[in-house]
Chain A
Amino acid sequence: MIALNINGEDRTVDVPEDMPLLWVLRDVIGLTGTKFGCGIAQCGACTVQLDGRPVRSCVLPVASVGTRSITTIEAVGATPAGKKIQDAWLDLEVIQCGYCQSGQIMSASALLNRNPDPSDRDIDTAMSGNICRCGTYPRIRAAIKQAAKA
């Protein structure tokens, strides 16, 4: 049994130690907002936060989460940065198909967590690991800047 703290709630799961956190969230816990995109940490669709820092859950063995608290897209709106990012995302109509956006929002709100006023270069650094096939990049950039001002 592995103990996890997910969105403020303590859970125990009976899964193999090497099972990536992504599949624990999606297939065991039932939190499907975190998405599977590539399975090799190249697209960022699976991004969740551990203690507010972004990680790619598709390559994160569940046993290595330890005591760090997991925040997923379902609960990121309860954090100040997450709320600002979600509002800006809707306000600027960032989203198209939306499939990558859970990961984009998790990366973006983690950026705001550590840096309330990110520069373009900071945005490049924080957001270039998240692929969007619909090409919403310009709006993601604009929305982060707007959220920073909010």
Chain B
Amino acid sequence: MSKPSSSPSSKTGPSRRTFLQGGGLLLGFALFGASTKPVLAASTALPVDGDVTAAFSPDAYIRIGTDGAITLILPNIEMGQGTHTGEATLIAEELEVGLDQVKAVDAPPNDKLYATAALGGQATGGSTSMRATWEPLRKAGATARMMLVAAAAAEWSVPVTECVAKLGVVTHQPTGRQLAYGALADAAARQPVPSDVTLKDPKDFQLIGKSSRRLDTPGKVNGAVTYGIDIRVPDMKVATVAACPVFGGKLGDVDDKKARAIPGVRDIVKLDNAVAVIGDHFWAAKKGLEALDITWDEGANAKIGSANIMAALKAASERKKPIMARQEGDVEGRMKAAAKKIEATYELPFLAHAPMEPINCVVHVRADECEIWVGTQVPAIAQGVAAKVTGFPLEKVILHNQLIGGGFGRRLVAESVAQATAIAKQVSYPVKVIWTREEDIQHDLYRPAYYDRISAGLGADGLPTVWVDHVAGGSVLGNYIPSGWPEDKLDDDAVEGAAKPPYDLPVIQVDWVREDPPVPITWWRGVGPTHNVFVVESFMDELAHAAGKDPVEYRRALTKNQPRAAGVLELVAEKSGWSTPLAAGMGRGISLHDAFGSYMAAVLEISVSPAGEITLHRAVVAVDCGITINPNTVEAQIEGGLIFGLSAALYSGITFSDGRVDQSNFHDYRILRNNEAPKIEIYHVKSSESPGGIGETATVSAAPALANAIFSATGKRLRTLPFNRDELKGEGADKKSVSMVPPLAAPLAAALASIKPTDTELEKL
């Protein structure tokens, strides 16, 4: 999207019309269905942002104009994870174009065309994008290429087999004649759609497997790109909003006398559970909001607190009948016969997503249509909620999806789109609703808290003969699906990462007690596995220590029939120097898992000070994510995912008092900073398996590797997240000064004053 204030109608209307005039064949592929054949798509208009004028539209993903412009319409949104580049790579590989020859745009909301079976709708999440599109997008590219080649062959009246496509040009090899894709676009559109598409042999890949430059980053170094929060449309005003601080509460009275007196405040809009102030700019709106005297009707949740939520989980875990996720072998018998029985309880907190871009949404509700600009992981759902709020039919809700400044699951829900639409509905002009960071932290949908009881029986060799994991927590799916989730049905997310650990555990029981919390919940980066793998991998370490075995050695013994798991385990052990001795106060912890179709082993090296403070020194990660589409992006996701997970393990936890969230901004919902991040090394296991997910994989590894490293450094097992560093304090540490400044004796001070670091010296010049 271009910079400020281009007219919305000129942006979408004409381009949509032009696109329709351009005509061409609209085809879609079911992304994850049994059918990978092109199917005729709905004949309705397919509005796509980004001035797509196409002569040739072989499918829902590719537009080729007569001027040679190639636009790829990508089903999954870009929120930093590199999906646009990855998906463009898949199409371009088979279409035989370079990444520098294409422009990537977001797909418009259209559940029929862009739904993935993995998520049951048009959505980006769960590290599914590359896995879900791996085949369909390559087929899309190949189909288009075949039609272009066929058009060229027809033009020259030569056999198709004599023609080769490369970098957007078809060449007739015997004669050297060439036609560019743009010149072929019209003719290609008239070619029959091939029914049988052959994909390249991986050894012939030109783009897949290379660290291609990302498509989305050049505009991110100079402020040129537009995120949802940056949208400006003519006559737009800016709003900020306060929802009832207690979930489920309602708006009572509002005295807005003082707010209306603030220069720049335009309107005050009341909703059922919130109030918004609209101003000429955010500052007026924010000052106006602060000046409101609001009385809330707090409702039934006004007394909830973290302690009673956790107590309810514990009680449910111990008393409620669980839903079985997996049960194999004689669990009870094995447990009785075990030489040693180990049990532990783990507790995990609610978590906020806190992406850097606060929640925002621009909405213009006109007499008969509604236009929305928002970055969302679920465009079709966002369109649907706006249609519901306005009462307009779906096609009257025009949604322009935007670049997202971090999602992590937060933008899988569209409740803020509904809220913004409800605000905009009350005024005639377009409104940009921006939440303050405080609103963002206190009105998130949280990763649920969990209370897990896990146990194992060990045989004479110290290895587990039986494994039992009782998970207790809310159902994310139940919170997500408007119609709810049956009480007696398993929500796979609750046990993902627990039900099938990558170990030889023939006798195993994993079950789940559902106990929905009184606050809204949703997915969070790493979903089920971030929760479950922490428990499984911490406990695996506990078993190793109970058996007197080295944690890597122990895992090695349990992965004899798990070649990919064993592969990453061996690689990480070697690269981390697992068996080399550590200095006092240092610790090394490992975690191993196979979440999202990828295998990952991580070793974290830390130190713990006598006062209990943790320093992260080095992380070594081995990954087998199948065929790697873009190794650099994979590494970036591992680095970032690991830091995201470490941040949460050390600092993050949402707590409640009197029905309210205790945290409010980055000073108390703390995020790991640059000077705390460890050095990270990443090693790939070469693989020809289909690509696995990578966006969340390393987040999963973080907390268990850290828990195990803490144990290695201190001998203390921390089973509650975030880790309470007070528990790591050495004896008497409370009474010792921390980081005492060395005495500044006069000569020393003078000496110090004369030795300035370069930074200081230069600044003074």
Contacts and interface: CB of A to CB of B under 8 A. Distances in A.
Q: Consider the complex of A and B and state whether they touch directly, i.e. have CB atoms less than 8 Å apart.
A: yes
Interface of A: 15-16, 19-20, 23, 26-28, 30-40, 42-43, 45, 72-74, 76-77, 86, 89-90, 93, 95-102, 105, 111, 114-119, 121-141
Contact of B223 (A20, A37, A102, A135): A102
Interface in B99-146: none
B319 interface: no
A132 B355 CA distance: 9
A19 to B, nearest CB: 5
Contacts of A114: 759, 762-763
B4 interface: yes
A23 B282 contact: yes
29 contacts: A15-B281, A16-B283, A19-B283, A26-B230, A27-B282, A31-B223, A32-B226, A32-B230, A36-B434, A37-B666, A38-B437, A95-B220, A96-B81, A97-B80, A97-B355, A99-B227, A99-B355, A99-B356, A99-B405, A114-B763, A118-B758, A122-B758, A122-B759, A131-B356, A132-B674, A133-B644, A133-B671, A134-B640, A138-B639
Contacts of B355: 97, 99, 133
Nearest to B279: A27
A33 B282 contact: no
A93 B80 contact: no
B221 interface: yes
B644 A73 contact: no
Contacts of A101: 220-221
Interface in B250-289: 263-264, 280-283
A34 to B, nearest CB: 7
A36 B4 contact: no
Given A43-B671, A138-B677, 15 more contacts: A26-B282, A32-B229, A35-B227, A37-B356, A38-B665, A76-B222, A90-B217, A97-B407, A98-B220, A99-B355, A115-B758, A122-B759, A126-B759, A133-B355, A133-B408
Nearest to A98: B220
Contacts of B363: none
A131 B80 contact: no
Contacts of A37: 356-358, 437, 666
B673 interface: yes
B214 interface: yes
A15 B263 CA distance: 9
Contacts of B636: 93, 96, 136, 139
Contact of A136 (B4, B264, B639): B639
B261 to A, nearest CB: 13
A139 B639 contact: yes
B214 A95 contact: yes
Interface centre among B283, B355, B637, B672 (most CB of A within 10 A): B283
Interface string B425-442: 000000000101100000
B528 interface: no
A138 B229 contact: no
A137 to B, nearest CB: 4
Contacts of B263: 16
Interface string B222-236: 111111011010000
A91 to B, nearest CB: 9
Contact of B673 (A33, A95, A119, A131): A131
Contact-residue size bin, chain B (C-beta under 8 Å from the other chain): 35 or more
Contacts of B758: 115, 117-119, 122
A72 B407 CA distance: 25
Contacts of A132: 356, 674
Contact of A32 (B221, B232, B639, B674): B232
Contacts of B217: 89-90, 93, 95, 98
Contacts of B679: 138
A90 B223 contact: no
B759 A136 contact: no
Contact of B213 (A23, A26, A90): A90
Contacts of A86: 221-222
Contacts of B436: 39
Interface of B: 3-5, 79-82, 211, 213-214, 216-218, 220-227, 229-230, 232, 238, 263-264, 280-283, 354-358, 403-408, 434, 436-437, 632-633, 636-637, 639-644, 647, 665-667, 671-677, 679-680, 757-759, 762-763
A69 to B, nearest CB: 17
Contacts of A96: 80-82, 636-637, 640
B665 A40 contact: yes
B80 A98 contact: yes
A95 B217 CA distance: 6
B440 to A, nearest CB: 9
B649 to A, nearest CB: 13
B673 A35 contact: no
Contacts of A40: 437, 665-667
Contacts of A72: 223
Contact of B406 (A20, A73, A99, A105): A99
B666 A135 contact: no
Contacts of B230: 26, 32-33
Nearest to A37: B356
Contacts of B211: 93
Interface centre among A32, A129, A133 (most CB of B within 10 A): A133
Given A27-B282, A36-B282, A128-B674, A42 B759 contact: no
B232 A30 contact: yes
Contacts of B680: 138
B357 A35 contact: yes
A83 to B, nearest CB: 10
A117 B757 CA distance: 11
B296 to A, nearest CB: 22
B437 A137 contact: no
A32 B675 contact: no
Contacts of A74: 222-224
A44 to B, nearest CB: 10
Nearest to A135: B643
Interface centre among A36, A129, A136, A139 (most CB of B within 10 A): A36
B605 to A, nearest CB: 15
A119 B82 CA distance: 30
A42 B356 contact: no
A4 B757 CA distance: 34
Nearest to A42: B666
B283 A27 contact: yes
A24 B551 CA distance: 56
Contacts of B437: 37-40
Contact of B674 (A30, A42, A102, A123): A123
B333 to A, nearest CB: 46
A121 B437 CA distance: 30
Nearest to B79: A97
A92 to B, nearest CB: 9
A89 B221 contact: yes
Contacts of A42: 665-667
B229 A36 contact: yes
A93 B637 CA distance: 11
A96 to B, nearest CB: 4
